[in-house]
Amino acid sequence: MKKIKTIAFDADDTLWVNEPIFTKTQERCSKIMENYVNSSISQTKLYETEIKNLKLFGYGIKGFMLSMIETAIELSEGKVTGSEIQKIIDLGKEMIAHPVHLLENIKQTLEILKDDYELMIITKGDLFDQESKIARSGIADCFKKIEIVSEKDLATYANILFRHKIDKESFLMIGNSLKSDILPICELGARAVHIPFHTTWAHEMISVQKSKNLIYQELADVSLLPQYLDTLKN
C-alpha cells in the first residue's frame, strides 16, 4: 500500500462534542411536551419526524428545531401554545450558540500530524452551523481542505477524492460513525480509523453483520493515531 499523505477527519463527535448536545435538547423538549404526552412517546416521535424530514431539511440544528416544532404540534393535536413553541425555538438557538468543546487530545494530535500530512475535514450538516463551529474551534488552521456535505456515502467520498486529485490508496479517514465515516471508505477501497464516541445517534448505527464485514483500524483514543501511522510506514 502507498504511504498515507492525506488524512481526513469527521467533525461532530470526532473533533468536538456534538451528540450529547442534541440528546440534552431532546430531553428538554420532552419536558415542554409533558403537558400532552409522556417523555418516551415524544422522544420516539421526534426521532421518527427527524428521519422523515432528512430529505427536506438535511442534517443539522435548524432541521432538528423544525422537527421538534412539528412533533410538538402533532402530539398536542395543535394545542401547543405560542409560548411553548418559543421555548422550543430558544432551545435550537442555544444549540447554535453552544461553545465548541474539543474532544480530549485532539489539538495536541493535530499539531503532531499537520506538518507531515495534508489534513482535511469532511463533515455533513448545515453549512452555516458547521462553518461557525470550525471557525470557533481554534483548530481551523490545522486543515488545508474543508468539505461540508449533505450526505457521506460512497459517491460523496469518491467525488471529493476526484476533485482534490487524492489517490485513495494514500488517503485515510478518521471518524466515530461506522455508517458515515467507515463503511463508505471501506467500500471505496481506502483506509479508515474508527474512534468510537460514547454516544451515537440511532440513525448512524449499522447492523453487527455489516460492521463485521468491514476492514478498518479501531483506536480507543485519537492520541494513538500518530503511533498507528508510524506502523504504516514500516
Residue range(s) defining the domain that contains residue 123? 6-16+100-233
CA distance 145 to 164: 9
For residues 108 and 37, membership in a common domain is answered with no
Range list of β-strands (E), 25-175: 118-124, 145-149, 171-175
Last residue of a domain, one of 97, 124, 150: 97
For residues 196 and 93, membership in a common domain is answered with no
- 68 located within any domain: yes
- 1 located within any domain: no
Q: What is the pLDDT of residue 109?
A: 97
- 151 located within any domain: yes
For residues 128 and 223, membership in a common domain is answered with yes
Q: Got the DSSP string for 90-122?
A: HHHHHHHH----BPTTHHHHHHHHTTTSEEEEE
Q: Give this prediction's pTM.
A: 0.88
- 31 located within any domain: yes
- 182 located within any domain: yes
Q: What is the pLDDT of residue 43?
A: 87
For residues 123 and 211, membership in a common domain is answered with yes
- 56 located within any domain: yes
Q: What is the pLDDT of residue 39?
A: 86
Query: Count of domains in the chain?
Result: 2
For residues 166 and 155, membership in a common domain is answered with yes
Task: Kindly calculate the radius of gyration of the chain based on its CA atoms and give it in whole angstroms.
Answer: 19
Q: What is the pLDDT of residue 187?
A: 92
Q: What is the pLDDT of residue 204?
A: 53
For residues 113 and 203, membership in a common domain is answered with yes
Nearest residue to 10 (alpha-carbon basis) of 157, 136, 112: 157
For residues 77 and 132, membership in a common domain is answered with no
Nearest residue to 145 (alpha-carbon basis) of 4, 16, 34, 11: 11
For residues 105 and 204, membership in a common domain is answered with yes
For residues 88 and 151, membership in a common domain is answered with no
For residues 25 and 38, membership in a common domain is answered with yes
State the DSSP H helix or E strand holding residue 193, giving kind and residue range, or none if neither: strand 191-194
User: Which CATH number covers residue 217?
Assistant: 3.40.50.1000
Last residue of a domain, one of 41, 67, 97: 97
User: Which CATH number covers residue 37?
Assistant: 1.10.150.240
Q: What is the pLDDT of residue 233?
A: 76
State the DSSP H helix or E strand holding residue 218, giving kind and residue range, or none if neither: strand 217-218
Sequence length of the chain is: 234
For residues 87 and 135, membership in a common domain is answered with no
- 155 located within any domain: yes
Last residue of a domain, one of 76, 97, 118: 97
CA distance 133 to 48: 27
Q: What is the pLDDT along the chain (234 residues), one digit of tens a residue?
A: 679 999 999 999 999 999 899 999 999 999 999 989 888 888 899 989 998 998 888 888 999 999 999 999 999 999 999 999 999 999 999 999 999 999 999 999 999 999 999 999 999 988 999 999 999 999 999 999 999 998 999 999 999 999 999 999 999 999 999 989 999 999 999 999 999 987 665 545 565 555 556 788 999 999 999 999 998 876
- 228 located within any domain: yes
For residues 46 and 59, membership in a common domain is answered with yes
